[in-house]
């Protein structure tokens, strides 16, 4: 068995070979969209954390490369330690131009002009950052004479009548006009390069921005501001793979909880699309079931005996029921891999309960602890998990009724079982009666039915992938 998560293979010859949920079709449609739009475009591709945004970016980029379309991949989180993304953006563009357009007539002059204005913009932006840095660096380190001097300058500026104040204001106005000219020149030179790029490869100058939702809020929003004000020119496309909910939380963190974060993001993007999270019904595409089977094989848990077949069917059922992300599924498999590796072949286990408990341990730790301590009632647990109300769905590998019967055996008190058996509700009576068959199975291992779940919890906790929950004293 293995305990490291799998790295999705992206073959150069067939980049979307292992794509899930119709994402190959999505990638092809995205490529076609960018081919046919000449205007500037900022496209947000939204998906929750752990749903494969970076994997899709790798596949799509490899597909574009196979189509002889060069693009820039920008890992925002890896650049989060910079104060400003402008320099790295500009550097990546220059690098791409050198690599892709080196033989184009007249490109050297355009490249030099772009580099010159980029340096000038960089100086202006660095000036602002330096002032902020100096301000932070001198906090608490200014002596009394400096304070007096600063107060005097502040007083002069506030009055608006001193000669020094007038000169400072006049200089600032001149600097502002010069900054506007520099920014205008930068955008014009970028636009010229992007036009040549479009002409040469029939595709815009494209920058794929990934991991933005892992950055500091100030850096993430600053990057969006830079895209809007400096790089928003024809034939330049930004494709940002984000968790939109997280970016909106950044907006509220920086600008206040009352701000309309969704409307704020509309300032920066002109297209918003969700990364497909389900396989389209009209096509045969890989979905979560195929992902589960492939992941099981990676961890050495492929169904080669009855126990592992039960694990596979249970995982398929519960991943769907709890709507786990791909990353969550991998984490659950890690817990199961460690657990199953530590359980001898002839020792007691209940595969469905092991999978269920592994999921709750990671996703619902409070409920897991209640189960471990035998502090949750059957009805409350079924309501909390929605397992009682789950309908039979086409393709289900396990019957929901069987699940309720198993949980009834493991959680119902003697009084609850007796009441159900005497009930006029035929369904409740049948469930109570059928739950007795599990009790006989457990007794064969000398484990009382109410001790099954705490026993499995103890085994799952023995080799844990996370620190144990600290118990109250």
Structure tokens belonging to residue 207: 């920058």
Residue 448: left if φ>0, alpha if ψ -120 to 50, beta else—which one? beta
Which residues, in sequence order, are CB contacts of 416 under 8 Å at separation 6+? 378
CA distances from 408 to 405, 431, 456 (A): 5, 8, 16
DSSP single-letter state for residue 212:
G
Q: Are 463 and 342 in contact (CB under 8 A)?
A: yes
Instruction: Report whether 44 contacts 269 (CB < 8 A).
Output: yes
pLDDT in tens, the chain (473 residues): 666 777 888 999 999 998 888 899 999 999 999 999 989 999 999 998 888 899 999 999 999 999 999 999 999 998 887 777 788 888 888 888 888 888 788 788 888 888 888 888 888 776 544 343 333 333 334 344 444 443 443 454 445 445 555 555 555 555 556 677 888 999 999 999 999 989 999 999 999 999 999 999 988 998 999 999 889 999 999 999 999 999 999 999 998 998 899 888 888 988 999 998 775 544 444 567 778 887 888 777 777 778 888 888 999 899 989 988 888 988 898 888 888 888 887 889 999 999 999 999 999 999 999 999 999 999 999 999 999 888 877 667 788 989 999 999 999 999 988 888 887 788 888 888 888 888 888 888 889 999 999 999 999 998 765 554 454 44
Query: What is the rounded CA–CA span in Å between residue 361 and residue 368?
Result: 5
75 Cα distance to chain centroid = 13
Q: What is the pLDDT of residue 274?
A: 93
Determine the pLDDT at residue 458: 92
Report pTM.
0.67
User: Which tokens go with 281?
Assistant: 């019904």
Q: Which residues contact 320 (CB under 8 A, 6 or more apart)?
A: 288, 393
Please list the alpha-helical segments (H only) found in 144-243. Answer: 144-159, 163-201, 217-230
DSSP code of 263? H
Gap between the Cα atoms of 208 and 43, Å rounded? 10
Q: According to the model, what pLDDT value does residue 170 have?
A: 53
Say if residues 221 and 251 touch (Cβ distance below 8 Å). Answer: yes
Predicted pLDDT at 171: 58
Q: How far apart are CA 34 and CA 63, in angstroms?
A: 14
Is residue 218 within 8 Å of residue 254, measured between CB atoms? yes
Closest CA to 3 of 301, 302, 334: 334
Please check whether the domain covering 23-130+189-274 is classified as CATH 3.30.160: no
Q: Which of 85, 46, 124, 90 is nearest to 222 (CA)?
A: 85
Burial class (CB in 10 A: 0-12, 13-18, 19+), 366: exposed
Residues in a beta bridge with 344: none
Residues of CATH 3.40.50 domain(s) within the chain? 23-130+189-274
Other CB atoms within a 10 A radius of the CB of residue 105 amount to 8
Q: Considering all CA atoms of the chain, what is the largest pairwise distance in Å, rounded to the nearest integer?
A: 97
Exposure string of 270-285, with b = 16+ CB inside 10 Å and e = fewer, is: eebbebbbebeeeeeb
In this structure, what token pair is assigned to residue 387? 């397992």
pLDDT value, residue 135: 38
């Amino acid at each position: 068995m293995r305990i490291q998560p799998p790295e999705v293979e992206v073959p150069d010859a067939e980049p979307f070979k292992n794509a899930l949920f119709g994402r190959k079709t999505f990638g092809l449609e995205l490529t076609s969209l960018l081919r046919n739009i000449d205007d500037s475009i900022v496209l947000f591709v939204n998906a929750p954390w752990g749903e494969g945004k970076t994997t899709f970016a790798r596949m799509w980029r490899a597909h574009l490369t196979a189509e002889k379309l060069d693009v820039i991949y920008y890992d925002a989180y890896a650049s989060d330690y910079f104060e400003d993304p402008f320099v790295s953006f500009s550097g990546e563009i220059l690098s791409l131009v050198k690599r892709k357009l080196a033989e184009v007539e007249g490109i050297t002059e355009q490249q030099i002009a772009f580099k010159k204005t980029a340096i000038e913009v960089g100086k202006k932006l660095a000036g602002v950052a330096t002032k902020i840095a100096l301000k932070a660096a001198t906090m608490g380190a200014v002596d009394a004479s400096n304070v007096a001097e600063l107060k005097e300058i502040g007083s002069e500026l506030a009055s608006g009548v001193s000669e020094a104040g007038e000169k400072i204001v006049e200089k600032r106005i001149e600097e502002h006009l010069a900054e506007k000219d520099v920014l205008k020149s930068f955008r014009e030179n970028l636009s010229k390069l992007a036009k040549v790029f479009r002409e040469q490869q029939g595709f815009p100058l494209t920058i794929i921005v990934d991991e933005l939702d892992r950055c500091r809020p100030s850096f993430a929003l600053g990057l969006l501001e830079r895209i809007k004000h400096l790089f928003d020119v024809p034939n330049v496309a930004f494709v940002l793979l984000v968790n939109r909910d997280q970016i909106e939380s950044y907006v509220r963190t920086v600008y206040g909880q009352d701000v309309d974060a969704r409307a704020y993001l509309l300032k920066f993007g002109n297209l918003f699309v969700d990364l497909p999270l389900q396989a389209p019904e009209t096509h045969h595409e890989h979905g979560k079931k195929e992902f589960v089977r492939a992941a099981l094989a990676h961890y050495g848990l492929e169904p080669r005996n009855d126990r592992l077949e039960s694990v596979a069917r249970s995982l398929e059922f519960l991943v769907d029921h709890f709507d786990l992300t791909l990353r969550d599924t991998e984490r659950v498999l890690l817990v199961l891999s460690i657990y199953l590796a530590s359980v001898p072949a002839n020792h007691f286990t209940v595969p469905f309960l092991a999978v269920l408990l592994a999921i709750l341990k990671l996703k619902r730790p409070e409920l897991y602890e209640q189960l471990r301590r035998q502090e949750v009632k059957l009805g409350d647990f079924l309501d909390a998990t929605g397992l009682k109300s789950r309908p039979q769905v086409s393709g289900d590998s396990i019957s929901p009724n069987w699940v309720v019967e198993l949980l009834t055996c493991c959680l119902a008190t003697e009084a609850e079982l007796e009441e159900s058996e005497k009930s006029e509700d035929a369904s409740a009576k049948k469930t109570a009666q059928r739950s007795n068959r599990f009790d006989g199975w457990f007794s064969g291992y000398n484990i009382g039915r109410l001790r099954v779940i705490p026993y499995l919890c103890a085994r799952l906790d023995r080799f844990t992938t996370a620190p144990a929950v600290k118990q109250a004293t």
